[in-house]
Amino acid sequence: QCPWGAPNTTSISCSLADVMSEQLAKELQLEEENAAFPEVVAVAEGPFITGENVDTSSDLMLAQMLQMEFDREYDAQLRREEKKINGDSKVSISFENYRKVHPYDSDSSEDEVDWQDTRHDPYRADKPTTTPRKGFIGKGKDITTKHDEVVCGRKNTARMENFAPEFQVGDGIGMDLKLSNQVFNALKQHAYSEERRSARLHEKKEHSTAEKAVDPKTRLLLYKMVNSGMLETITGCISTGKESVVFHAYGGKSATEDKVIPPECAIKVFKTTLNEFKNRDKYIKDDYRFKDRFSKLNPRKIIRMWAEKEMHNLTRMQNAGIPCPQVVILKKHVLVMSFIGQDQVPAPKLKDVTLSSEDMKKAYYQVLNMMQQLYKECNLVHADLSEYNMLWHDGKVWLIDVSQSVEPTHPHGLEFLFRDCRNVSQFFQKGGVAEALNERELFNAVSGFNITADNEVDFQEEIEALEKMNEDHVQNHGKKLSMFSSDGDPPIYDE
Ligand code: ADP
Ligand code: MN
Predicted local confidence at residue 110, as pLDDT: 33
The pLDDT value recorded for residue 70 is 83
Ligand nearest to the CA of 336: 1
Q: Where are the domains of the chain?
A: 141-206, 214-346, 348-481
Query: What CATH architecture does domain 214-346 belong to?
Result: 2-Layer Sandwich (3.30)
Output the tens digit of pLDDT for each of the chain's 495 residues: 667 776 666 665 667 776 677 887 888 888 887 877 765 444 444 444 444 555 555 677 677 778 878 888 888 888 888 888 888 777 777 777 777 665 444 433 333 333 333 334 434 444 444 556 666 666 676 666 667 777 777 777 777 766 665 566 666 777 777 788 888 888 888 777 777 766 665 555 444 444 445 888 899 999 999 999 999 999 999 999 888 999 999 999 887 777 899 999 999 999 876 554 555 565 666 666 666 555 556 777 888 999 999 999 999 999 999 999 999 999 999 999 999 999 999 999 999 999 999 999 999 999 999 999 999 999 999 999 999 999 999 999 999 999 999 999 999 999 999 999 999 999 999 999 999 999 999 999 999 999 999 999 999 999 999 999 998 888 888 766 655 544 433 333 333
Average pLDDT value over all residues in the chain: 79
Mutate which of 391, 402, 404 for ligand 1 pocket (most atoms within 8 A of beta carbon): 391
pTM of the prediction? Answer: 0.57
- Residues involved in catalysis: 384
Long-range contacts of 443-451 (CB under 8 A, 24+ apart): 443/417, 443/418, 445/368, 445/372, 446/368, 446/371, 446/372, 446/375, 446/417, 446/421, 447/375, 447/408, 447/414, 447/417, 448/375, 448/376, 448/486, 448/487
What does the pLDDT read at residue 120? Answer: 44
Q: Whose atoms come closest to the Cα of 248: which ligand?
A: 1
Find the 268 Cα to ligand 1 centroid distance in Å: 8
pLDDT at 221: 93
What's the CA-to-centroid distance between 382 and ligand 2, angstroms? Answer: 11
pLDDT tens digits along 157-171 = 777 766 665 566 666
> Ligand 1, atom 6: nearest CA belongs to which residue?
401
Ligand 1 pocket, Cβ-based, cut-off 6 angstroms? 238-239, 241, 243-244, 246, 266, 268, 325, 337, 339-341, 346-347, 349, 389, 400-401
Q: What distance in angstroms lies between residue 493's CA and the mean position of ligand 2's atoms?
A: 25
- Of the options 1.25.40.10, 1.10.510.10, 1.20.272.10, 3.40.190.10, the CATH number for the domain spanning 348-481: 1.10.510.10
**Residue nearest atom 7 in ligand 1 by C-alpha distance:** 401
Q: Ligand 2 centre from 297 Cα, in Å?
A: 25
pLDDT at residue 75, as a whole number: 85
